[in-house]
Amino acid sequence: MNKEVQAVADGKKSVDEALKAIQEQSQAALVKAKTEQDAQKEKDAAKGEAK
């Protein structure tokens, strides 16, 4: 996020471009975290069934 803010400050990107990039990066991070959480839940459930 700091990179995007700096790009705006340097005049390399508009605020709208920076916000769009931040939103896309945040969405990707959210999807990754959710996927990892779901995988961990499945792993934990499989451990419970194996006992």
DSSP state at residue 10: T
* pLDDT surpassing 80 at residue 51: no
CA proximity to 24, closest of 51, 1, 47: 1
| Tokens standing for residue 25 | 């990066």
Looking at residue 1, its pLDDT comes to 86
Domain count, the chain: 1
| Distance, CA of 45 to CA of 34 (rounded, Å) | 16
Domain limits at 27? 2-50
Looking at residue 44, its pLDDT comes to 93
Overall average pLDDT of the 4-26 stretch: 97
> What is the pTM (predicted TM-score) of this model?
0.76
Identity of the amino acid at 44: D
